[in-house]
Structure 1
Amino acid sequence: MNTSELAWFKSSYSGGDGDDCVEIAPTPDTVHVRDSKNPQAPHLTLSPTAWADFLAYASRS
C-alpha cells in the first residue's frame, strides 16, 4: 500500500501548538507509525498485536 493512501492521524492528547507528534495509520493487517515532523521519511509497520503490546507498555504508570 502506498503511504499516501493511508489515513494518518495524531493522538487526541497531541497539542495543537506544534508538529512534534507521532502519527499512526491503522489498516486491518498493520499499524503504520511515522514522525509528523518528517512524513516523507521511512516509517514503522507493526502488527496490530505488536502495537497493542506497545500501547499497554507505554500506558503503564
Structure 2
Amino acid sequence: MDLSTVAWRTSSYTNANSANCVEVADTPEASAVRDTQNRHLGALLFDSAEWRAFLTAAKHDAL
C-alpha cells in the first residue's frame, strides 16, 4: 500500500520532550502506525476491526 500521500497525525500524548512518538494515518482500507523517529522503516497496517479493538483495549487500560 502506498502511504506517501496519506495525512499522518501525531499521538496526542506527544510533547516536545518526548522521544517515543508514533504517528497514525487512516486510509479507506486500514489504519497505519509508524515510529516518528524511524519513518523510513515503514508502517504497521491494521484493518478497521483490528484498529477498533486496539483503541478499545487501550482506552480501557487507561482508566
| TM-score, reference length from structure 1 | 0.82
SS of structure 2 residue aligned to 1:25: strand
State the shift of 1:43 in Å.
Answer: 1.4
- 1:2-41 to structure 2, matched below 5 A, reads 2-41=2-41
- Greater than 4 Å deviation, 4+ residue runs: none
Residue segments in structure 2 that go unaligned for 5+ positions in a row:
none
Which structure has the highest helix share of the two? 2
Residue identity opposite 1:34 in structure 2: R
Distance 2:42 2:27 in 1: 17
| TM-score, reference length from structure 2 | 0.80
SS of structure 1 residue aligned to 2:17: coil
